[in-house]
Structures are given as C-alpha cells and as structure tokens.
A and B are shown apart, each in its own frame.
Chain A
Amino acid sequence: MNARIEVDGETVSAPRGAMLTAALIAAGRWVLRAHPVTGTPRGPLCGMGVCLECEVTVDGRPATRACLTRVTDGMRVWTGTGGSAS
C-alpha cells in the first residue's frame, strides 16, 4: 500500500514509510531548491541531516530536512527557493 503525497501541487505515489528524499528521488525529483545566493538547482548531498541541502516545506513547516522526514499519506511538500533579503 503506497502513500499519496503532494509535491508542488502534483500528486505523487510514495512507498509506505519512505524517507521523503527517497520518495522524491523515486519520482525523479532531484532538484529541491534554488540556492539562496547563486540561484542554482540544488539537491540532497549527505542524506543524514548535516548538509541542509534538502530543506523543503512540509505541511506548512519550512526548512524541513527531507532526509529526516518519513512520508505520511496526504503529506504536502513544497520545494523552492530558500529566499534572501536582496
């Protein structure tokens, strides 16, 4: 039984209890944000919560590390920019 999650508004099927990074990669989504300084596409590096490259917004909570988040049915994920003042 798979979980159905929403990524940037699009429904994606994810294995039950998968780590969110795994679910995103399985769905072909490697680019999780645009770098706040350079704007270049960024994806996960370390997979264990240290590099902070995989931060996405999950159910309204920004800066959530996808590599430390297990998918739940109905989870809503927003990838995107980290934002900067300028």
Chain B
Amino acid sequence: MTGAPVSPDACDVAVVGGGPAGLTAARRLAAAGLSVTVLDEQPELGGQYYRRPSAAVIERGGDHRPAGGRLIGAVRDAGADCRTDTSVWGVADDGRTLLLSGPAGVATLTARYLIIATGAYERVIPFPGWELPGVTTVGFAQHLAAGDGIRVGERVLLAGSGPFLLPVACSLLDLGVHVVGIAEAGTPYRLSGRGLLTAASFPARLAEFARYVARLARHRVPLWQDRVVARADASPAGDHVASVTLAATGTPATPVASYAVDALCVGIGFRPQSEIARLLGCSLSGDPWSGDLLPVTDPTGRAGQSDVYLAGEARGIGGAGRAAADGEVVAAAILDREGRPGGDRRAAARQRRHARFAGHNARLYPAAAELTRRLTAALPDDVHVCRCEAVTAGQVRAAAAVAAAPQHGGADLGAVRALTRAGMGPCQGRECQATVAALCGAVAEPAGMARMPARPVPVADIAQLAGTPVASTPEVTG
C-alpha cells in the first residue's frame, strides 16, 4: 500500500459539508457551469437539518423535510460531484489542497474556491450521570424520531436551553412518547419587552412557535423555566438512565424535583465546527456571548483575501434559513469573481433578515458562556468533564491551580490539557473544551492552533500519501 499512486483531483469549487448552506451553494455554482465537488462524512447528503429519513420511513410517507430531498436531487442534477462517507481531515503543505479519507482510502482535492459549510454540533454541559446510556443530545432524539421513526425512550425529559427543545418535544409526541417535561435553563417564555418585540418583528416565527406551545399544552407537557439538570441516576443494573433531578438555574446543586425517565435529552444550543477553516488559515475571534471561537469573515463569508468562504452554522449559529442564504451569498460572490451571471442578488437581504431574527431570538435565552460558567462551577469534583479520557472536574481544577496564569486570563489551557489529558481523546476535545475552559476561568477558548487530523484517520491511509506529489518536500529544513 505504501507508495501506491494517489490520483489527485481538482475542481473549481470544493464544498465541505452537504447541509443547507453547502447544498444551496453547490446547486447555484454547478448550475452556473462550474465544476463542483461536495464532500460529506455522512452516508448521505443533507447535513443535520436535511438529514434524509430512512427508506422505511419514506415508504410510510414520513418525509418531514421533502425540501431536503428536492435540494439534494437538484444538486446532483446540476452536475455536482457528490462524495459522501468522505471525511476532510487535513490540508496539504500547499495550504489549500484538501486531504480526504473515505472507504477507498485517502484522496486529495485541489479547488480554486473552498466553501466550508461544516455546520455545528450540540453543546452539552456535564452533570452527574451524563455518561449513562440513555442520556443523549436533543438532536439525536430528533434524528431517531424524524429519520427513523424510533422513540428515544418511552418516558423522556428534555433539558437545556434554546428554541430547539420545543419542536423536538413535538416530534416525540408525534411518536406517542410520554414527554415528561421540558426544562429550560432561562426564562425566555415569560412576558418581556424583548420577547414581545421579537414576536412582533417576526410574525411567521411567532406563529410557528405558538403551534409548538399549543401542542405541548394539549398534551399537558410541562415547560419548566429556570430549571437545569442537577443529576441523572441509573437503573439498578447501572447501565441506563432511570431518573433525572432538576434544580433552579441559580442553584444547580440544590435539587428541586425528580422524575422517572428512560431517556434524558440535553442540549444548550449549538457550536460551530470550524476546524477545517482553521486548518486553511482562517482567523478566529472569541465571542463572549457563546464562549466559542467564530471565524472572521467579510459579509459574503470570505476569509480575508483568500479563496476560502464560510457558510452556514460553521460561520456562526443562525439557523437553517440563514445557512441557505449564506450559500446563495457565497455562490453569488464566487460567480462575481468568475465574471459569470446567475447569482441570487436578493440573498444578502434574506441573509440579513435571518441573522436579525437569530440574534433577537438568541438573546431571549441565557448566554451560553455564562450558563457554562455557572453550571461548571457547581460541578462536583468527581464528575467526568472529559468523557473520552475520564478526567474529572476535580482533576481539571487542580491542574488549573498549578497552571495558573493570571496575566493571561485564567489558567493556561494547554498546560491543563497536558497535565490531565482532558481533550486528548478520540473526540479531540469537542465535548469538553468549553467546559475545561470555563473551569479554568478562560472567557473564550484560546485561539489555539488547529491541528491535523480534523478527524481520526487510519495510519495506513496517510502512509499512502508518501511519495506522492502532495507529500513532496520542496526543501528540507535541517
């Protein structure tokens, strides 16, 4: 296998991520005559928002997002090369060729334009018992329900923060799940000036929201506010969640009520997946509200003066509508540079409108960074904050004391990682880095260096690159 030729591949536009943003851009650009390759590590296109239901569900007439299927079809019909089961794990030494890994091994792709539409993933803050089977994200419950018609449990409690909790609860009701309740950490549903202004400014969204609330009320599903998970406890066999205890958000260690469940779905909004953008040299800036690093781009999504564009949730959380608009805006920008017609000129206005709503809506809910700080401060020392390496909050706190760097804003996160191994496991810190940063007093994650691989890659695949053009060293530094 070593030294086997790896056929390089090139195209006009590489789209990393086959969700609403990537698909929208790909369709527009392919239809305009550019050669487009769409890459996604999932087995099919669609990303999270347009994840395709299983064949069994479609046969039963249960396609809840047929627009997704139509968009995917349109992308293929426009002639884009769609490569699923393909993970982008790195960038070659030329700073732009993408390194891919898939069922057939390693591959490379050099494109004149790169659109990074890698989406977002759900934020979970640890609590005692969060590692029990049956504790999942809200998004997973949604995929099970809408994508497979499978109930995540029979008695399910949803907890966390954000508008996503409500529609997912309704998806569960559709399957006959007993939704025990929804625990929202903030108080977004109390009457407030901001809430009324948001509702008045975006009536369609208000109507959608009202439908969810009405369904939940009809099924008598409690919607508790100012509530967080204090702990989850196991069944007598110890291998599944059996109860969840809630607390008031301000006093997370003080139990308020307990409920018997067989699934607990938690999620506090979403975090951009910006690793590929980082590897391509895109700069990032800390967002104090979310505690996340957001790529720095111009209004079209372009990173500086490069050929790299960000679109969708990877650029910043803003919902599927804004993601699709991002895709059009990026496509229009690229078509402009190419001197080709066909860009959607009205997309920028849609993008701004969606972004305005997302901004208003987000501020009804507690700031993620603040909520993370509050909840992690109350974590008992023995809770694992790094799931992969089983590192406890106590170990992180002790390391933060040793690695204190007050002039630098909290403890040195690199040192804490080195001393505890938190973040050095297979998920590469995705599940724990925000928690560890909060425990160390870091306001936002440091703009740490992006490292390859962005996902674990078989060693044999990488070895296949040896001796090929993408792995040639023009000069050797001694």
B344 within 8 A of A: no
B212 at the interface (CB under 8 A from A): no
Known: A47-B139, A50-B121. A22 touches B144 (CB 8 A): yes
- Indicate whether A11 reaches chain B with its CB closer than 8 angstroms: no
Could you tell me the dominant secondary structure of chain B's interface residues?
loop
A67-82 at interface with B (beta carbon < 8 Å):
67-70
In the bound complex, residues from chain A placing their C-beta under 8 Å from that of B56 are 2, 15-18
The answer to whether residues A15 and B148 also contact, given A50-B121, A51-B431, A68-B41 and a CB cut-off of 8 A, is yes
Residue of B nearest to A30 (CB): B133
Which of B285-293, B347-355, B383-391 sits within the interface?
B383-391
**Residue B370 CB within 8 A of the other chain:** no
Mark contacts of A36-54 with chain B using CB atoms, 8 A cut-off: 1 yes-contact digit, 0 otherwise.
Answer: 0110111111111111110
What residue of chain B has the Cβ atom nearest to residue A45's Cβ?
Answer: B136
> Is B122 among interface residues, defined by CB-CB distance under 8 A?
yes
- Shortest Cβ distance from A13 into chain B, in angstroms? 11
Scan residues 218-257 of chain B and give those whose CB is less than 8 A from a CB of chain A. Answer: 238-240
Interface bits B431-459 vs A (CB < 8 Å: 1, else 0): 10000000000000000000000001000
Main secondary structure on chain A at its contact with chain B? Answer: loop
Whether a CB of chain A sits under 8 angstroms from the CB of B460 is no
B54 interfacial contact with A, CB 8 Å: yes
Query: Can you list, as one digit per residue, whether each of B396-433 has a CB less than 8 Å from chain A (1) or not (0)?
Result: 00000000000000000000000000000011001100
Complex interface bits, A15-35 against B, C-beta within 8 A gives 1, otherwise 0: 111110111011000110001
Assess whether B131 is in contact with A42, with CB atoms less than 8 Å apart: yes
Which of these, B43, B124, B131, B140, contacts A69 with CB under 8 Å? B43
Contacting pair B390 A37 (CB below 8 A): yes
Question: Which residue in chain B gives the minimum CB-CB distance to A55?
Answer: B426
With a cutoff of 8 Å between Cβ atoms, the chain A residues found around residue B134 in the complex are: 30, 43
Q: Given A18-B148, A40-B131, decide whether A45 and B140 contact each other with a Cβ distance below 8 A.
A: yes
Tell me the complex Cα distance, A2–B350, Å. 43
**Distance A16 CA – B54 CA, assembled complex (angstroms):** 7
Contact at A48–B427, with CB atoms within 8 Å?
A: no
Contact B143 A51 (CB under 8 A): no
| Interface presence of B20 (CB below 8 A) | no
Can you name the residue of chain B whose Cβ is closest to the Cβ of A15?
A: B56
With a cutoff of 8 Å between Cβ atoms, the chain B residues found around residue A49 in the complex are: 41-42
Max chain B CB contacts within 10 Å: which of A19, A22, A35, A68?
A: A22
Knowing A25-B150, A48-B48, A51-B430 are in contact, say whether A70-B54 is a contact too (CB < 8 A).
yes
Interface size bracket, B side:
35 or more
Minimum Cβ distance to chain A for residue B257 (Å): 24
The reply to whether the CB of B312 lies closer than 8 angstroms to some CB of chain A is no
Q: Does B172 contact A (CB under 8 A)?
A: no
Q: Are the C-beta atoms of B389 and A37 separated by less than 8 Å? A: yes
Task: Judge if B78 is at the interface, Cβ distance under 8 Å.
Answer: no
Contact of A19 among B139, B143, B238, B431 (CB under 8 A): B143
Q: Which of B149, B390, B427 contacts A35 (CB 8 A)?
A: B390
Contact A19 B147 (CB under 8 A): yes
Give the residues in chain A near B387, CB-CB below 8 Å: 45, 51, 53
A46 touches B390 (CB 8 A): no
Out of B54, B143, B149, B456, name the residue touching A48 (CB < 8 Å). Answer: B143
A35 to B387, CA, bound (A): 9
Q: Which residues of A contact B131 (CB under 8 A)?
A: 35, 40, 42
CA distance A16 to B124 in the complex (A): 31
B94 shortest CB reach to chain A, Å: 28
Which residues of B, 96-134, contact A by the 8 Å Cβ criterion?
121-122, 124, 131, 133-134
Would A52 and B133 be within 8 Å (CB), given that A16-B54, A19-B143, A68-B43 are in contact? no
A50 to B140, CA, bound (A): 12
A53 to chain B, nearest CB (A): 7
CB–CB B54/A17 < 8 A: yes
A22→B124 contact, CB < 8 A: no
CA–CA, A40 and B132, complex, Å: 9
Closest to A41 in B: B239
B200 CB contacts on chain A under 8 angstroms: none
- Contact pick for A38, options B41, B57, B273, B390, CB 8 Å: B390
Cβ A16 vs Cβ B390 within 8 A: no
Contact present for B148 and A22 (CB under 8 Å): yes
Task: Give, as a whole number of angstroms, the nearest-CB distance from B433 to chain A.
Answer: 12
- Give the complex CA separation of A67 and B388 in angstroms: 17
Instruction: Give the most central of B131, B140, B387, B426: most A CB within 10 Å.
Output: B140
Give A contacts to B, CB under 8 Å.
Answer: 2, 15-19, 21-23, 25-26, 30-31, 35, 37-38, 40-53, 55, 63, 67-70
Closest 5 CB pairs of A and B: A47-B140, A43-B133, A17-B55, A22-B148, A15-B56
B-to-A contact residues, CB < 8 Å: 41-44, 48, 54-57, 59, 85, 121-122, 124, 131, 133-137, 139-140, 143-144, 147-150, 152, 238-240, 273, 387-390, 426-427, 430-431, 456
Between-chain CB contacts (< 8 Å), 10 pairs: A15-B56, A15-B149, A21-B140, A22-B143, A22-B148, A41-B239, A46-B121, A46-B431, A50-B430, A67-B140
Q: Beyond the given A44-B136, A69-B43, could you list 4 further A-B residue pairs with CB under 8 A, ordered by the A residue number? A: A16-B55, A19-B147, A30-B240, A45-B431
